[in-house]
Structure 1
Amino acid sequence: MFQETTPTNPPPPTMGGDANAQAISQMGFDNLIHNFDALGWIVFVTLVVMSLLSWYFIIANFIRNSMIRSRADKVIAAFWNNPSAQESIREMEAQPKSEPFSKIALDCASAAAHHQRSDGGRLAESLNRSEFIDRALRQAVARESLRLEGGMTLLATVGSSAPFVGLLGTVWGIYNALIGIGASGEASMQAVAGPVGEALIMTAIGLFTAIPALLAYNFFTRSNRLTYAQFDEFAHDLHDFFATGARVDAPAQPKK
């Protein structure tokens, strides 16, 4: 009654899925490394070196600034809480070599002692006591401030140039990809997406290198400004003490 029908085989799968999978496989980082030419390796190694150097200075500056900020009030208080200047100087000499506030105080005390026993034979020694101490303090503050700037230039350079270095790698990668596509004669989306997406990885590497460096630069810039203000305040107090023999207290804040 019913006509027997022969089963039909399912249609073969289209090539679109295989092409998409092949395009996705061409967008991986491993494939990017294997297809590097000389300029690609130069760009990649440059970004890696920039990233390593920036992270080194980020960690080093963070540790150094944290130690300075945590010890600043203690060192300043240790200087003023001693009953005599000689004991304060010995207290400063016992501080670590990397501690900046103690070095400023020791330079100031050394300048005051040198001016007291000098005979004015040199031009710098012909200055009066206040000017001579002020000169020594300016040099000490400038020296310690310069030490806080270590690595800041590199962080600024990495933050501003790393995206462009990565973009150079992307442009060069797209250029090579288009040459390869033109030579193969394939202009489909699958043929274009893999090489172009692979080249964009270099831009991402450049951004991952630049963003931490830029954020760290802004953070350390603000942190250093606060430390510079403490340098200036401590230097003014030291100048008043060693030039006049008395510390001039800051004026009291008016009550609201």
Structure 2
Amino acid sequence: MNSGMSLFHLWVEGGFVIQLTAIILLGMSIASWTVMIVKGGMIYKSKQQAKQLHDFWHSPDLNDALETLESSDQKVNPFKELALEGQSAMRHHRNTEKHLHDSLDLNDWITSSLRNAIDDAKEKFGSGLIVLASIGSTAPFVGLFGTVWGIYQALITISDSGMTSIDKVAGPVGEALVMTAFGLAVAIPAVLGYNALLRGNQFIISKLNRFAYDLRAFYVMGGRFNRANNDKAFAE
């Protein structure tokens, strides 16, 4: 029996449960690859944007510096969003009437604002990773369930027919084991993608933290901090 007939036989003879299991695994695969492609593109773009920070700090003034950061919409550039958040916090602290935040000095207020912006970036970059983690951990068991059910159905069919020779058993059981292979084929890319995206996210967040250190110094003191003596205000 060739592989095409085996898969077709499994699909037809497995019934509703096998078909539903295969559809679930297919949906898991589509979801995981969608997350990996979208999030991978986001990380790649952010890495390219991180290269613009050198030009940012070599600009003559803040307005020109912001222009060096790609995109007129800061929401698609986490570095520009961070710079604008710090600028907004500085102006709000200095130019508004008395509020509760005025009990904080400018340094603490900007630090808090930048930290909140970084937390928002973490949430944005981290969204979708739970999908990959869930698929990577559950897809093998979904495939295994399909295999167990397929073997069960195959054994019932063999028992009813009265054929007990090994050549009669091997075919249906082998077909059922294909569901386990499907589960692994879905889970393995999801796990590898999760690890790759997690490393990429950590790289971007590290760049954002370093940029935030310098932004805080610029907005508060007009200079850049010496990171060796920094109090790690943005560390987790």
Q: How high is the TM-score relative to the length of structure 1?
A: 0.83
Please, which runs of 5 or more residues in structure 2 have no aligned partner? 229-236
Which deviations, in whole Å up to 9, do the C-alpha atoms of 1:168-215 show, x marking residues without a partner? 000011111111111111110121111100100100100100111111
**How far did residue 218 of structure 1 move?**
0.8
Q: Distance in 2 between matches of 1:25 and 1:109?
A: 63
Match of 2:32 in 1: 54
- Whether the 8 Å CA contact 2:49–2:69 is kept in 1: the answer is no
- Whether the 8 Å CA contact 1:47–1:162 is kept in 2: the answer is yes
Match of 1:10 in 2: none
Aligned mate of 2:146, from 161, 166, 169: 169
Runs of 4+ with >3 A deviation: 24-27, 89-97
Q: SS of 1:35's equivalent?
A: helix
Q: SS of 1:248's equivalent?
A: coil
Q: 1:38 is matched by which residue type in structure 2? A: F
Match of 2:231 in 1: none
Aligned mate of 2:219, from 221, 239, 242: 242
Which deviations, in whole Å up to 9, do the C-alpha atoms of 1:68-118 show, x marking residues without a partner? 1122121x1232111122333454585444111110110011100111102
Q: Distance in 2 between matches of 1:92 and 1:127?
A: 30
Describe the shift of the 1:87–1:210 C-alpha distance in structure 2 as closer, same or farther (beyond 3 A): same
Describe the shift of the 1:27–1:94 C-alpha distance in structure 2 as closer, same or farther (beyond 3 A): closer
Q: Distance in 1 between matches of 2:139 and 2:225?
A: 49
Report how many aligned residue pairs link the two structures: 228
Q: Is residue 2:110 matched to residue 1:133? A: yes
Deviates more, 1:138-147 or 1:90-99: 90-99
Q: Distance in 2 between matches of 1:105 and 1:215?
A: 33
Describe the shift of the 1:212–1:236 C-alpha distance in structure 2 as closer, same or farther (beyond 3 A): same
Which deviations, in whole Å up to 9, do the C-alpha atoms of 1:129-153 show, x marking residues without a partner? 1111011001100001111112111
Match of 2:21 in 1: 43
Q: SS of 2:14's equivalent?
A: coil
Describe the shift of the 1:70–1:26 C-alpha distance in structure 2 as closer, same or farther (beyond 3 A): closer
Q: Distance in 1 between matches of 2:211 and 2:143?
A: 45
Match of 1:67 in 2: 45
Q: Distance in 1 between matches of 2:3 and 2:221?
A: 77
Q: How high is the TM-score relative to the length of structure 2?
A: 0.90
Please identify which structure carries the higher helix content: 2
Q: Distance in 1 between matches of 2:109 and 2:125?
A: 25
